[in-house]
Amino acid sequence: MKQYLNKAFGLFFVLCVVFIPFVYTSLQLQVTGFVFKAPVQFLGGLFYSRPITLIDFSSDTRSLLLLLILLAVTAGITAIFIKRKQPGIIWACKTIVLYFLAYVFLKYGFDKVFGLQFYTPAPNILYTPFGNLDKDILFWSTMGTSPAYSIFTGMVEVVAALLLLSRRTRTVGLMLIEVLTSGLYMRTPAELTGAYKVEQYTVNGIITDSCQRPVKRIFIHPKQYFILQSPQDTMTDFHFTADYKKQQLTLTGYDGTRHKIDYEKHGDTLVFNFLKFWLDSL
């Protein structure tokens, strides 16, 4: 069992090196898309209520998570057919992964040291509302506000990468990398989580004037809170449960009353039907 796990994990990490675009190249992206685009879309239809229309293997996307699952399954199946005594395969896998890790941490470490990553936010970023920023840009901008911290992190990454190149210091290097990456994790965002500005409010098919809209913004919190912001900036919040297949939210107020809201999602735009909500409130 131990030998099987060693082979499976070794193959898995090698497959990650080959197919996951840690360092982006057009050829690698093309190969990964050609091999895994269709399987990822198929799994997306099984695991998620909404199909994945845009396949993006970068950052913490659902596509990347499904790709990791496929690579793990592929490695596990392949390891079954490898003969028991194959120390050369395990050694080769470890060597490839170690040197690739060293390369990646050297690259990103020097990028941080010389300001090529996590650079100072540009003026247009600073004037962009917080909720409109892409999560990657937001993280980069936050890190970029502290150049000293970015440089320090980059130097530690460079040291960790250099320690990997020697057998005597490899364990220390791996421990450093574990510390550096302990704060990075994958998270699949909730279906509706976000902040939404009310651009249009329709009553009986008639678009009302902006000053007559009872709601200015809608916030959907990942902890399942649905928050309405009035034009006077007062907040009314509800706890909600979601039926993504029916595209319906059930809001529960602090007094225990419940309201149902139907919605439609078109890209980054949400259309809510508040008719049931207002009728329940009467």
Give residue 244's pLDDT: 78
Lowest mean pLDDT among 10-19, 87-96, 217-226, 244-253: 87-96
For 131-162, what is each residue's pLDDT tens digit?
677 777 777 777 888 888 888 888 989 999 99
For 95-107, what is each residue's pLDDT tens digit?
888 888 888 889 8
| Residue 126 CB coordination number (10 Å) | 10
Spatial distance between the Cα atoms of 144 and 236, rounded to a whole number of angstroms: 35
- Concatenated DSSP letters of 83-101: -S--HHHHHHHHHHHHHHH
The number of angstroms, rounded, from the C-alpha of 252 to the middle of its chain's C-alpha atoms is 29
Domain boundaries, the chain: 2-181, 194-281
Judge whether residue 44 has pLDDT over 70: yes
Give residue 273's pLDDT: 82
Spatial distance between the Cα atoms of 210 and 216, rounded to a whole number of angstroms: 9
Indicate yes or no: pTM above 0.85. Answer: no
Spatial distance between the Cα atoms of 249 and 226, rounded to a whole number of angstroms: 9
Both tokens assigned to 1: 């069992």
Q: With respect to CATH, is domain 194-281 assigned 2.40.128?
A: yes
Decide if 230 contacts 236 (C-beta within 8 A). yes
